[in-house]
Structure 1
Amino acid sequence: FSDFGSCRDHLVNEGWADPQHIVARGGSAGGLLMGVMVNQRPDAFAGVVAEVPFVDNVNTMLDPTIPLTVTEYEEWGNPNDPATFEMMSAYGPYENVKSADHPALLVTAGLNDPRVQYWEPAKWVAKLRSETTGSRPILLRTEIDSGHGGPSGRYDAWREEAFVLSVILEMLNLAPPLSTTGDGGER
């Protein structure tokens, strides 16, 4: 986890990036990384996009009835072992939410996702909203017809990517002004 933060710091220290204009983005296990960064370094990013993030890793891995739990013990560990439970709890995004001025967040979930159940991101967002001391938005977008890979179909995937990029522009205060002409340019 610290490698990701160190890479961010290197970009800033070498003058490649303005610290006020960095948005981090990750999905699934990369979403877990985003969750850890939000908890450990809430001031390091202007925004974070966490797509179908595996952010309730401890509770999910404690439930063998959830698809993939048992087969993922080798990768994530079995929290039924006390030492593994402590290790996972030390970094678990859901367990480690604390009061802070969190960055703007866009968190996505898929109602039909068998890998990261929709309630993981929903619980995490609810906890973040209750603990944030700032005023930046913490958004949850749940796709009713999506699984782990987002919407199926080329055009739906393009629409989803356009949505995410428009939110990133908002996070960076770079979005164009809203159209009031009624020409279809409204966001």
Structure 2
Amino acid sequence: MKIIEVRDYKEMSQKAAEWIIHQVRINPHSVLGLATGGTMLGTYAALVEDYRNHQTTYRHVHTVNLDEYIGLDGDHPNSYRYYMNHHFFHFIDIPSSQTHIPNGLAEDVEAECQRYEAIKDGLFKEKHLFFGLYQFVLAIELNDLMKAKQLAEELGLSLSEALLWYQQCIEWVVQLQRNSVNSEQR
């Protein structure tokens, strides 16, 4: 894991955007794993600005978002689809058919999860690449490097170990949520 220290949110957002832009330019058929939330707003704004100023194309890119709220339509202001459309997708040249987000209105949630897993698996095998923005987001979701350093000190870990521990905690929570949905459907 490579850790990049930055001065502030603006620089962090720009560095993340540069990382994505570089990836898309060297492999126009990239699969981007994208996140939502306030942390990503600066990154998406920088990507949109680059698209406007330098015409970095996303025509062949596929995106994967791993989250959506159950019961929300993609046009609902609180849905992740809405967030991605209004902060990124509608401002670049990516075909909507290449932006993959789970269907929050699926009647059978387990079937939707299986359908979505098949899409992700197909994209990863076909493209032989998953550009893991989530790996980057795990670090920046701690807000800044100082908080990550503080967490490492409190736990007696190196910074890389603290970030790995944080990632494992997130994966554990996701698994708990999946188990909860599965048990509710039985």
The TM-score, its normalising length taken from structure 2, stands at 0.37
Q: Which has the higher contact order (CA 8 A, sep 6+)?
A: 2
The structure that is strand-richer by fraction is 1
The structure that is helix-richer by fraction is 2
The TM-score, its normalising length taken from structure 1, stands at 0.37
